[in-house]
Structure 1
Amino acid sequence: MTTLSRRHDFVLIFDVTNGNPNGDPDAGNQPRLDPETGLGLVSDVSLKRKIRNYVDLAHEGKDGHHIYVQEGAILNEKHRQAYTALRGDSGGKKEAKLNPKDDAEAKALRDWMCANFFDVRTFGAVMSTGINCGQVKGPVQITFASSVERILPAEVTITRMAATNEAEKKKAEEGADSDQRTDNRTMGRKYIVPYGLYVAHGFVSAKFAERTGFSEADLDLLFEALKNAFEHDRSAARGEMATRKLIVFRHENALGNAPAHELFERVRIGRDLDGELREIGDPGLDNRPPARKFSDYRIEIDRSDLPAGVEILEM
């Protein structure tokens, strides 16, 4: 495979309709938000999870596309696989702790993990827990996503008609003639964002790709996963989520031709008012209803005076 030789920066734009894009366990699983601005948040960990899940579905069992961080996985056992591959079947099958014998073996262990696990060579990993395979800094980094406008999560009460067990059913039957409602309805709550448009930024370092073996094919797979991240992540809790646009700034060399923040500023997102983009907070939007669909927004990319060596790809 061809190792990545050019730096890339990207903007991921996605939305949610009547769903919870990323619940906060410290707030009763309410949608994450910035308490000062009211903007919705989706963590980088959540986005990486969706990428891992897509790669696992699309390339399950294929060499070089195994996933290191999986639900229920025992990470030390994956580290042990590297020792077994390098030392042979007798090399550390029972030991609870293993460390490389020298720097050469340490590098060989890291290289083996990168070669076999897509998410290790993409995002990096700390693999020094007990059975030590060292640490890897990945070439791909993704920020928290923030919503374009403030979100106002709605709390929805739901009921379940079935009883959990015989005792619950009996209690309901005994109270059937009383004034108190005791039928087989278990009350619950869920939180939704009626509509939210979110933006995340990503960075792909060609220099760190050299160290992990992250290739051009891996980059193509990363972008494929970002475009399809929500297609196989459906659930009642998440409502409807979709990647709306992926904007990639591709540099002509490994170090890059312009600062990422300057390129990101070329992407403008605002409300669509009669075919024109109005910045969020524009007084002309004061009497407009809240956004409830993607077409309520307008996205524009400033392509004028683009720095030499930078090209823009829209996916």
Structure 2
Amino acid sequence: LATKQKGKNPDDVKQVRDYICQNYFDVRTFGAVMSTGDDPCGIVRGPVQLNFARSIDPVFAQDITITRQARTTEDRQQSGETEMGKKSIIPYALYRGEGYVSAMLAQKITGFSEDDLELLWTSIINMFEHDRSAARGKLCMRKLIVFKHDSALGNAPAHILFDKVSVKLKDGVTTPRHYSDYDISIDKDMPEGVTLIEKL
């Protein structure tokens, strides 16, 4: 469809963007830059934005030695059948990530729906369950807290709501190695028009 609309007026470009938003969940959710290449069709501002997660406490990376059994070139095979390598691991870390959903962008730009939002929550809760690897260990979601506003423009600033969730080390713990080493507290006294939902 984008090729067919190449060189057309802005209304045609909007038609292409609408088609892509309707058919691709990732664009409808997070947006996309589609203004490059041979068939540009503009930029879509997605309603969902996620910050980079940060560890609650400093992490300590450790290196472990691994053996590679399959050398891929003849030059490397001349010095032996195996070679040594290393892999970095983090014994334990608790990460906190924050995100935002703009109801106005969902309504006016991409058509992101309530059903899409519920699918996003389900995906976040389960995102590590079917993508296991030795490198990620037992990475898993521990909490998913949602602040739902009555108004499409929001009933309270995001930073005030994020401050309602506190994560602290328990007394006597200096080096966290388990989720149980932390106290997670949630101030459930919400501003007017805001509902707290614990999805996990």
Is TM more than 0.5 here? yes
Query: Does residue 54 of structure 2 align to residue 126 of structure 1?
Result: no
Residue aligning to 1:251: 149
AA of the residue aligned to 1:119: D
- The percent identity for this pair of structures is 50
Residue aligning to 2:139: 241
The structure-2 alpha-carbon separation of the partners of 1:141 and 1:167, relative to structure 1 and needing over 3 Å to count, comes to: closer
Q: Deviations over 1:193-245 (max 9, x none)?
A: 11000011110000000111000000001101110111122112222200111
AA of the residue aligned to 2:177: R
Residue aligning to 1:105: 12
Query: Does residue 200 of structure 2 align to residue 302 of structure 1?
Result: no
Greater shift after overlay, 151-160 or 252-261?
A: 151-160
Q: Structure 1 unaligned runs (5+)?
A: 1-81, 85-90, 93-97, 173-183, 274-284
TM superposition outliers: structure 1 runs of 4+ over 6 Å: none
Greater shift after overlay, 160-169 or 294-303?
A: 160-169
The structure-2 alpha-carbon separation of the partners of 1:165 and 1:269, relative to structure 1 and needing over 3 Å to count, comes to: same
Q: Deviations over 1:246-290 (max 9, x none)?
A: 0000001100100000000000001134xxxxxxxxxxx4xx341
Q: Considering only CA atoms, is the larger Rg found in Structure 1 or Structure 2?
A: 1
Query: Does residue 124 of structure 2 align to residue 217 of structure 1?
Result: no
AA of the residue aligned to 1:228: N
Match of 1:270 among 159, 168, 171: 168
Residue aligning to 1:143: 51
Residue aligning to 2:175: 290
Structure with greater strand percent = 1
RMSD (CA atoms): 1.9
Query: Does residue 128 of structure 2 align to residue 230 of structure 1?
Result: yes
In structure 2, C-alpha distance between the alignment counterparts of 1:107 and 1:171, rounded to whole Å = 59
Residue aligning to 1:193: 90
Residue aligning to 1:311: 195
In structure 2, C-alpha distance between the alignment counterparts of 1:270 and 1:137, rounded to whole Å = 35
AA of the residue aligned to 2:46: G
In structure 1, C-alpha distance between the alignment counterparts of 2:196 and 2:117, rounded to whole Å = 16
The structure-2 alpha-carbon separation of the partners of 1:208 and 1:185, relative to structure 1 and needing over 3 Å to count, comes to: same
- Give the alignment of 1:146-161 within 5 angstroms: 146-161=54-69
TM-score (norm 2): 0.91
AA of the residue aligned to 1:227: I
Q: Structure 2 unaligned runs (5+)?
A: none
